[in-house]
Structure 1
Amino acid sequence: MTLEEKIALLRDAIINHKQVTGLCNDLPREFCPHILGPGLRSWTTLVWQFGGTSNKGLPDEGAWRCFELGDLDQLASREGEWHRGFHSGRGEQRCVKRIDTAIDADHSAEFRETYRGRIRQRGLQPPRRRKMCW
């Protein structure tokens, strides 16, 4: 699969909310791509990986991954549940330097706060009081 074919497949998956399967560094991956564009060295995609395997391990709920398109093989898109992923509002993505294609706001990452490494949904716990410094 050429670079141009990978870009076209990932663009279509982002625009039409499709899941993608394939290999990254010879490991099987299942993911929903959220952003596509040039990175530091080559074209990259920021994805929410929800299935397959990973060198770092994959949490049950999934995880954000940044893939260089040159490391991806045997890509295929498929219909299926769109996995939005989540973010805590801390920091920006650094995977894609110039965005070519991005997911629409209705399908983008869900906001969740983190507390001591555990994820919690906003509004389920009272906000912490901030100490006032004078």
Structure 2
Amino acid sequence: MSNTHDLIARAIREKKQITAIYQGYYREMCPHALGTKNGREQALFYQFGGQSSTGIVTPDSTFNWRCIPIEGLSEVNIRDGEWYTANNHSQDQTCIDGIEIEVKP
């Protein structure tokens, strides 16, 4: 397991924010679940700030969920701050088929 994996797991346990670069875009996110999909480490994030391939992120949108492979993240940092989620968090996710850790309600 990588340092990135450990940071994300800690952020989930402590409800901390993550900042990172993914696909060349700076992102501010709250991780909700961590595990594997087809043997590949992935995390489910709610992105509340920064940018994505579609432009500036709209705060509080139910479309801000991101399924990101851990290996694609760089410059990962953990920080204190408000915990962000969306009201559709209770819907079944398909990002991770083997959940290692997820946010407690």
Residue correspondence of structure 1 range 1-134 to structure 2 within 5 A: 4-40=2-38, 42-57=40-55, 58-62=57-61, 63-87=64-88, 92-105=92-105
Partners of 1:88 and 1:69 in 2: CA distance: 20
Deviations, residues 4-44 of structure 1 (Å, cap 9, x unaligned): 10110000000001000010111100000000001135100
Query: 5+ unaligned residues in a row in structure 2: which ranges?
Result: none
Aligned length: 102
SS in 2 for 1:22: strand
Question: Which residue identity lines up with residue 95 of structure 1 in the other structure?
Answer: C
Higher strand proportion: 2
Question: Whose Rg is larger?
Answer: 1
SS in 1 for 2:4: helix
Partners of 1:104 and 1:76 in 2: CA distance: 21
Deviations, residues 59-78 of structure 1 (Å, cap 9, x unaligned): 33241110001110000000
Provide closer, same or farther for how the CA distance between residues 41 and 54 of structure 1 changes in structure 2, counting only shifts above 3 A: farther
Question: Which residue identity lines up with residue 96 of structure 1 in the other structure?
Answer: I
- For residue 46 of structure 1, report the CA deviation from its aligned partner: 0.4
Provide closer, same or farther for how the CA distance between residues 55 and 104 of structure 1 changes in structure 2, counting only shifts above 3 A: same
SS in 1 for 2:99: coil
Query: 5+ unaligned residues in a row in structure 1: which ranges?
Result: 106-134
Per the normalisation by structure 2, the TM-score is 0.89
Percent of paired sites with the same residue: 30
The CA RMSD measured in Å over matched residues stands at 1.6
Partners of 2:67 and 2:54 in 1: CA distance: 13
